[in-house]
Amino acid sequence: MGVRPKLIIHGGAGSSLKGKGGLTAVRESLHRIVTAVYDFLEKGGSAVEAVILGAKLMEDEPRFNAGTGSVLQSDGQIRMSASLMDGSAQKFSGVINVSRIKNPIEVAQVLQTETDRVLSDLGAAEMVRELQMPIHNPLTDLRLHEWLAERQGNFRSSMAGVVAEDEMASTARRGTIGVVALDQDGKVAAATSTGGKGLERIGRVSDSAMPAGNYATTVAGVSCTGIGEDIIDECLAAKIVIRVTDGMTLAEAMQKSIDESTKNQRDLGAISLDVQGNIVWGKTSEVLLAAYHDGDAVGDTLEWHIEPGVGSV
Ligand code: GLY
């Protein structure tokens, strides 16, 4: 009998979820995906394969800002970023500002075994062509209409006001997706994917394809969501994991890192787990759209409004 698998996923962070319909729909999506990925882990799937599966399922769910359903940048184009960290190999790979594919996490997956493991726009496009990935337009009507509304308002917002659902669109934002898993062999992996902040300057680089936003070792893994610049300034994912490596518990590492982020007035959230099977999350934002499977049952953080706060199972 191996280690009992653990899993946590997120579909972004932001301000309050208004409307039960929105909350119910997001909960249904998160619970469906966490259940499917946990089944895969229970059948012996590896942590790396599980986070790739989870990231793909979330990229394919249009309510989340990653893959299909990504937000548009200032020039009306979609550019997506994703990364994968194999904790047991301590290997990071990522793709920055890639366009016209269905699953950016698949490019990060291929890059795990390459010499050059993080590629940006032009190089990423070349790799996509080499891999003969089918062309896919990730644009949805909702994201297009949101961008057109911003254009009519002469782009007064500094980022897109979207995360997951029509009903939440005007209030919730800063979407990203992330998955952290512990498998039966006691291995940890993390994956994160995003369409970015939305309305950003061409060439802006997201935290989601950096160790600041997605990091794992043999002891713990973290995926972040929120404003990328805030996450980068805190170097949040790597900082939490390194604190655990240096002897803090995961809950202590998350608490200290969220306390620092609060003091520095950051807008962010993070999900994590460790090799002991502890599942911990934290946020400075109003809501964190996360769900987890602790081996017994599925739970989520959708109605958890302690701000800022740290939670665990
Ligand atoms: N955290 C996603 C981004 O800011 O791009």
How far is Cα 111 from Cα 55, in angstroms, rounded to an integer? 16
Residue 311 pLDDT > 50: yes
273 CA from centroid of ligand 1 (Å)? 21
Question: 253-280 pLDDT, tens per residue?
Answer: 999 999 999 999 999 999 999 999 999 9
Ligand 1 atom nearest the C-alpha of 227 is: 4
For 208, the token pair is 């989601």
Report the nearest-CA residue for atom 1 of ligand 1: 228
Query: Alpha-carbon distance 257 to 283, whole Å?
Result: 10
Q: Answer whether residue 20 shows pLDDT above 70.
A: no
Helix (H, G, I), strand (E, B) or coil at 96: strand
pLDDT in tens, 178-188: 999 999 999 99
Q: What is the mean pLDDT of residues 110-133?
A: 98
**292: enclosing H helix or E strand:** strand 287-293
Distance 225 CA to ligand 1 centre (A): 7
Q: Mean per-residue pLDDT for 36-63?
A: 98
Distance of CA 36 from the midpoint of ligand 1 (Å): 26
What DSSP letter does each residue of 209-221 carry, written as one string? GSTTTEEE-SSEE
What's the mean per-residue pLDDT of the chain?
92
Over range 133-145, report the average pLDDT: 95
The minimum-distance atom of ligand 1 relative to the CA of 159 is 4
Joined together, the tokens standing for residue 156 give 């007064």
CATH 3.30.1330.60, domain 6-312, yes or no: no
Radius of gyration of the chain (CA): 17
Atom of ligand 1 nearest to the CA of 224: 1
CA-nearest residue, atom 5 of ligand 1: 196
Where do we find the tokens 């990504």?
70
Q: Output the CA angle 119-122-127, nearest 5 degrees.
A: 60
State the closest ligand 1 atom to the C-alpha of 81, by its place in the atom list counted from 1.
5
Closest atom of ligand 1 relative to the 228 alpha carbon = 4
* Sequence spans of domains, the chain: 6-312
Q: What is the mean pLDDT of residues 85-110?
A: 98
**Cis bond upstream, residue 308 (ω within 30):** yes
Ligand 1 centroid to Cα of residue 42, in Å, is: 31
Residue 293 in tokens: 């499977």
Does 172 have pLDDT greater than 50? Answer: no
Kindly list the protein residues whose Cβ atom lies closer than 6 A to any atom of ligand 1. 176, 194, 196-197, 206-208, 225-228, 231
279-283 sheet: strands from edge to edge? 214-216, 220-226, 268-274, 279-283, 309-312
Q: Please state, for a pLDDT cut of 90, what percent of the chain lies above it.
A: 84
Tokens of 311: 């939670």
**Alpha-carbon gap, residue 296 to 313, rounded angstroms:** 11
Catalytic residue among 68, 171, 176, 301: 176
Active-site residue, 245 included: no
User: What number is the average pLDDT over the span 192-221?
Assistant: 97
DSSP 55-90: HHHHHT-TTSSSSTTPPP-TTS---EEEEEEETTTT
Q: Is the pLDDT of residue 171 over 90?
A: no
Q: Which of 58, 71, 197, 230 to mutate to test the pocket of ligand 1 (most atoms within 8 A of CB)?
A: 197
- Out of 176, 268, 271, 283, mutate this one to test ligand 1's pocket (max ligand atoms within 8 Å of CB): namely 176
User: Contact at 8 Å (CB) between 5 and 41?
Assistant: yes
Give the single-character DSSP code of 187: -
User: Average of pLDDT values for 206-224?
Assistant: 98
> Which of 158, 231, 234 most suits a substitution to test ligand 1, by most atoms within 8 Å of the C-beta?
231
At 159 the pLDDT is 60
**162, 169 in Cβ contact below 8 A?**
yes
